[in-house]
Structure 1
Amino acid sequence: MNLRQIELLRAVMRCETTVRAAQELGLSQPAVSNAIKHLEGQIGFPLFERVNNRLFPTAEARAIYQDSDPIFQMHAALEARVQDLKENRAGHVRLIATPPLGYSVIPRALGSFLAKRPKMRVFFDVRRFENVIDSVENGVAELGFVMGLNENRALNAEVFFSERMVCVMRPDHPLAEKNTIYPSDLRSVPFIALERGSRMGTIVRQAFTEAGEPFNFAVEVRYCNTACVLAENGVGVAVVDPLSPLFSGHYNLAIRAFEPAVQVSASVVSSRKRPLSRAAEAFLREVRVVVGEVAGKLA
Structure 2
Amino acid sequence: MNVRQIEAFQAVMSTGSVTRAGERLSISQPAVSQLIAQFERHCGFKLFERQGSKIAPTREAEALYTEVQRMVVGVAQIDRVATALREQSWGALCVAGFPAITRRMIPEIVYGFMDARPDAHFRVESMRSRALIDAVAAQHADIGFSVIPGDRSEVESVLLHALRAQCILHESHPLAQKETIAAADLAGLPFVSLGPQDLSRNRIDRVFDDLKIPRHLRVEAGESETTFSFVAANKGVAVVDPISAANNQFTQVVIREFEPCVKFDLWLIRPKARRPLNLTEAFVEYALDYMAEFASRHSA
Distance in 2 between residues matched to 1:295 and 1:261, nearest whole Å: 15
Counterpart in the other structure of 1:261: 261
**CA offsets, 1:229-280, max 9 Å, x none?**
3222322111000111113455542111112211111111011111222121
Consecutive unaligned residues of structure 1, counting only runs of 5 or more, are 1-88
Give distance in 2, aligned partners of 1:237 and 1:293. 28
TM-score, normalised relative to structure 2: 0.65
Deviations 1:38-63 (A, max 9, x none): xxxxxxxxxxxxxxxxxxxxxxxxxx
Would you say the 8 A contact 2:90–2:279 is kept in 1? no
- RMSD between aligned residues: 2.1
Distance 1:123 1:230 in 2: 31
For 2:123, the equivalent position in structure 1 comes to 123
* Residue of structure 2 equivalent to 1:240: 240
State the alpha-carbon separation in 1 of the partners of residues 158 and 228 from structure 2.
Answer: 27
Identical amino acids, percent of aligned pairs: 25
* Counterpart AA for 1:277: L
- Match runs of 1:49-64 below 5 Å: none
Q: Hey, what's the Cα distance between the residues in 1 that align with 2:196 and 2:118?
A: 42
Give me the whole-angstrom Cα distance separating, in 1, the residues matched to 2:213 and 2:249. 32
CA distance in 1 between partners of 2:259 and 2:287 (Å): 28
Q: Map 1:174-185 to 2 at 5 A.
A: 174-185=174-185
Structure 1's 290 and 90: CA in aligned 2 closer, same or farther, altered over 3 A?
closer
User: Partner of 1:132 in structure 2?
Assistant: 132
Residue 274, structure 1, aligned to residue 274, structure 2: yes
What's the offset of the Cα at 1:92?
0.9
CA distance in 2, matches of 1:203, 1:152: 23
Tell me the equivalent position of 2:105: 105
SS of 2:119's equivalent in the other structure is: coil
Cα distance change on mapping 1:229 and 1:111 into 2, 3 Å = farther
For 1:119, give the aligned amino acid.
D
Q: Distance in 2 between matches of 1:276 and 1:250?
A: 39
Task: Give the alignment's TM-score, normalised by structure 1.
Answer: 0.65
Measure, in 2, the Cα distance between the counterparts of 1:229 and 1:207.
24
User: What is the letter of the counterpart of residue 255 of structure 1?
Assistant: I
CA pair 226-105 structure 1, distance change in 2 beyond 3 A: same
Residue type of the partner of 1:206?
R
1:205-244 to structure 2, matched below 5 A, reads 205-244=205-244
Residue 297 (structure 2) pairs with residue 289 (structure 1) = no
1:160 aligns with 2:160: yes
CA distance in 1, matches of 2:214, 2:170: 23
Rounded Cα–Cα distance in structure 2 between residues aligned with 1:250 and 1:281: 36
AA of the residue aligned to 1:236: G
Residues in 1 aligned to 2:135 and 2:151: alpha-carbon distance in whole angstroms: 17
Counterparts in 2 of 1:197 and 1:206: CA distance versus 1, 3 Å: farther
Q: 1:248/1:286 Cα in 2 relative to 1: closer, same or farther (>3 Å)? A: farther
Amino acid of the structure 2 residue aligned with 1:170: H
